Amino acid sequence: MEELVPGRRLLPRVLVGVGILCAVLLVLWLTGWGASLWEVFSDRERVQRAIAGAGVWAPLVYLAFLVAQAVVAPLPAPAVAIAGGYTFGVVEGFLLTWVGVLIGGVISFGISRLFGRDFVAGSARGARLDRYVEEHGLALIFVLRLIPLVSFDAISYAAGLSSIRFWSFFGATALGMLPGTFAFVYLGGSPAGFGTWAILAGLAALAIAAYIYQRRAFGLRRRVR
């Protein structure tokens, strides 16, 4: 009977998490806000207008945009980062974007760790994942953050399900997201020219190298089956 106690403690948290998620999805579906949110976050000009219209509160509104797109998985990020560069300039836009997305990643990690970690840890596959993460977790997250096409949100939520320590996740995320963040902010905050193309080419080369490295060095899917 003692083995059932952790499950009983976990069940209320799982039910609360599922209930909140269902309620949010229902509201988005009934009101049509889900489609509206996607349209807003996909449209750089609409994001810029929303930020500019906030006046002195513009930095806080921008941070709210960043946190929302980092926590709500389907929302796209590039348009928001480009709008930040256009509105605040490269330096301030980069700092705000880095901080906002990092906060969103931490929140996603926390949600996953709170509601899903105990559930996953009890499985055999979860145990194999934990052993793998203990050896390679920090490096794996860092490398994946270098690849813009890999969902930022998915990495954060998956990390919360694993045994990786918070500060390892935080450090790997904070460093790994630097190149991509700077590239998108620079794209919005600087006039089109050789510098823009050079930075985008550098980001693409770095992402390709990171992808090849993670495929050869980690092979995560094969090792946790």
pTM of this structure: 0.74
Q: How far apart are CA 188 and CA 190, in angstroms?
A: 6
2 lies in a domain?
Answer: no
Q: Is 60 exceeded by the pLDDT of residue 66?
A: yes
Q: How far apart are CA 159 and CA 113, in angstroms?
A: 8
Range of the domain at 38: 32-223
Total domains in the chain come to: 1
Q: Which residue has the higher pLDDT, 48 or 85?
A: 85
In this prediction, residue 24 carries a pLDDT of 46
pLDDT in tens, 134-185: 777 788 899 889 888 788 888 898 888 888 889 999 999 999 999 999 998 9
CB of 94 within 8 A of CB of 85?
yes
100 lies in a domain?
Answer: yes
pLDDT in tens, 96-125: 999 999 999 999 999 888 877 766 666 666
Q: Is 50 exceeded by the pLDDT of residue 31?
A: no
In this prediction, residue 219 carries a pLDDT of 60
Q: How far apart are CA 42 and CA 217, in angstroms?
A: 34
> Token pair 């980690």 is at which residue?
218
The one-character DSSP state at 57 is G
57 lies in a domain?
Answer: yes
Q: Which two tokens stand for residue 57?
A: 């509160």
110 lies in a domain?
Answer: yes
60 lies in a domain?
Answer: yes
16 lies in a domain?
Answer: no
In this prediction, residue 102 carries a pLDDT of 94
Determine the Cα angle at 108 with ends 188 and 165, to 5°: 115
Q: Is 60 exceeded by the pLDDT of residue 23?
A: no
Burial degree of 36 (CB within 10 A; 0-12, 13-18, 19+): exposed
pLDDT > 70: what percent of the chain?
69
pLDDT > 90: what percent of the chain?
18
DSSP state letters, 66-101: HHHHHHSTTS--HHHHHHHHHHH-HHHHHHHHHHHH
